[in-house]
Amino acid sequence: MTLSRSITTLSSAVVYLGTLSLTVLAFWGLIGYEDTRFTPDLLKDSYLQSILSFTLYQALLSSLGSLLLAIPIARALHRLRPVGRHQFLRLSLLAFVMPSLILITGIVNLLGPQSPFIESLTGWKLFGLNGILIAHIYLNFPLAVRILYQGYSSIPLSREQLADQLKFTLWQRIQHIEWPAIRSQVTTLAGLIFILCFNSFAIVLTLGGGPKATTLELAIFQALKYDFNLNEALTLAWLQFAIAGIVYLALIYASKVNWLGSTREQTAYRVDQGVRVPVQMTFYWLGWIYLLAPLIALFLTLNLEALVNYPYASMFKAMGVSMVIALWASLLALITAIALLTPIRKAAQQAKPIQETLFSWLANQSLVAPAMVLSTGSYIWLISRGLLESYAPLMLILLNAFVLLPFLISQLRPRFIQFDSQYAKLVGNLKLTAMDRVRIIYPFIRRSLLAAFSLGLLLALGDVSIFAIFGSYESPTLPWLIYTFAGTYRMSEAAITSVILLGLCYLLLILLERSVDDEQ
């Protein structure tokens, strides 16, 4: 028994050391290459200051826009129980996990230069801040809707009854009943969406539209890939790491929420009626239009001639590359997440919040050190030692697995904690072997493992930033193939590839959603 615990502890220590070493290696690579150094004077450059300002500005606007749209929609779902709400929540999950290149292709077809509405969009410019905000809000407000809907659904029926008995006005109901139920979720979401948009790469790369709409993440990529200005790449990487780290430290003190958990609802006490209904329904249908419009535009782009002339061989090759990378990265991330959760679970059982927070921070460090920063540092470290060609494929999988960890941990953690709260003492008293423990816990967490693995596949399939550094452009993934088609104005081929990738993601989404709901 002591031996099995020692092995488990040692395994967790090795995994924590490995993930931490990956971050250290990246920054060591940034620091240690020839005369590369952090250059504070670069921060005085007006262009770099404009990049930082735009990065913060678009992230703030994206967070604010996502929440302002999500809150009334989530409230409408709770108060009105409208027709199609379950389908809306499923589509919301698909929108969040959907590869960004699919969305970008749909938005360009809908609102770009070849838009059917171009004549009525006088003076409209998609590329730049407009396109970035549209895409960021699209990808993030559905996540906020699902989480806020959980908050609204957690309001006890007794409070609803009391509010009716006291004849609360709308403002009193919001102030005393609803806002306390969603306040912690709003705080967490504001920080999470800000980090996701602050570290955004693919959207800014494709919809940025030039120097005036460049973020830190894209500037690092440009400094490395096009200018090979390592001092600038290092300085921007440290700057991005510092800002994301500060925001994340604030985030971990906010309430914890289950990002992608089940949205099962309690029985409604009373459904809203009267003059408020049209306003709430307007937001609900606006959400439907926002989610569906780019996808419909994507499908409308398809035509028989494009389907006949489409390079299917290249697509199947890219699909194979994508699946290989996604499968290996998801499997590695799943195993790593389980090991990382061991000390977190132990700290939770022993009621040691400081240790639990510390281990949680270390386990989720890829939110602080974004993919482009990690990719840049690892790229420089490998190239300085002549190892890039040999280890680029391995780093592609390792870094993809690393950035998946916060999402998989969020998916697995509630189920593991539930098992510990119900059976940990009993299992400990029985003095079982490690294999016996596995046999007991596996049926309890099996569906969570399947859901986490499916989620990992979904997210890994959409990677662009890591592939942009370590990938072989001769053997692209499906997202990179979409980017290549769109970059050469072959929008029909980009649309077909996007539809194929969307179909693949939808199949994985069904598997993920069934696993999440069935375990409740």
CATH of the domain at 155: 1.10.3720.10
Average pLDDT over the chain reads: 82
Does 197 share its domain with 219? yes
Is residue 269 a part of any domain in this protein? no
Is residue 273 a part of any domain in this protein? no
Token digits of residue 361: 């921070």
**Greater model confidence, 224 or 506:** 506
In whole angstroms, how far apart are CA 190 and each of 61, 140, 141, 279, 406? Answer: 11, 10, 11, 24, 17
Q: What's the pLDDT at 487?
A: 77
Nearest to 141 by CA among 207, 64, 86: 64
Per residue in 487-512, pLDDT (tens digit) is 787 888 888 998 999 988 888 888 77
Does 89 share its domain with 234? yes
Does 389 share its domain with 291? no
Percent of the chain with pLDDT over 70: 88
Does 358 share its domain with 449? yes
In whole angstroms, how far apart are CA 367 and each of 115, 356, 397, 403, 412? Answer: 36, 17, 17, 7, 17
Token digits of residue 200: 């955004």
Is residue 66 a part of any domain in this protein? yes
Among the listed ranges 132-146, 243-257, 479-493, which one has the minimum average pLDDT value? 243-257
Does 11 share its domain with 56? no
Is residue 23 a part of any domain in this protein? yes
Nearest to 74 by CA among 232, 234, 181, 199: 181
| Number of domains within the chain | 2
Q: Is the pLDDT of residue 518 over 70?
A: no
Q: What is the DSSP string of 292-305?
A: HHHHHHHHHT--HH
Per residue in 248-304, pLDDT (tens digit) is 777 766 555 555 555 555 555 555 555 567 888 888 999 999 999 999 988 888 888
Among the listed ranges 29-33, 192-196, 362-366, which one has the minimum average pLDDT value? 29-33
Per residue in 80-111, pLDDT (tens digit) is 888 888 889 888 888 888 888 888 888 888 88
Does 192 share its domain with 86? yes
Give the range of the structural domain holding residue 159, as residue numbers without chain letter: 46-262+280-300
Does 137 share its domain with 189? yes
Token digits of residue 25: 């290696």
Q: Who contacts 425 (Cβ-Cβ below 8 Å, separation ≥6)?
A: none
Which of 250, 271, 300 is a domain's end point?
Answer: 300
Q: What is the dihedral of CA 291, 292, 298, 299, to 10 degrees?
A: 150
Q: For CA atoms 64, 65, 71, 72, give the dihedral sign.
A: positive
Is residue 270 a part of any domain in this protein? no
Q: Is the pLDDT of residue 424 over 80?
A: no
Mean pLDDT across 330-354: 84
**Greater model confidence, 246 or 520:** 246
Cα-to-chain-centroid distance, residue 342: 23
Does 114 share its domain with 202? yes
Is residue 91 a part of any domain in this protein? yes
Is residue 231 a part of any domain in this protein? yes
Is residue 272 a part of any domain in this protein? no
Mean pLDDT across 30-36: 68
Does 97 share its domain with 23? no
- Identify whether the C-beta of residue 393 lies closer than 8 Å to the C-beta of residue 328: no
Does 133 share its domain with 244? yes
Token digits of residue 372: 């482009």
Does 395 share its domain with 499? yes
Mean pLDDT across 379-407: 86
Q: What's the pLDDT at 220?
A: 83
pTM for this prediction = 0.82
Does 200 share its domain with 346? no
Alpha carbons 493 and 218: distance in angstroms, whole number: 25
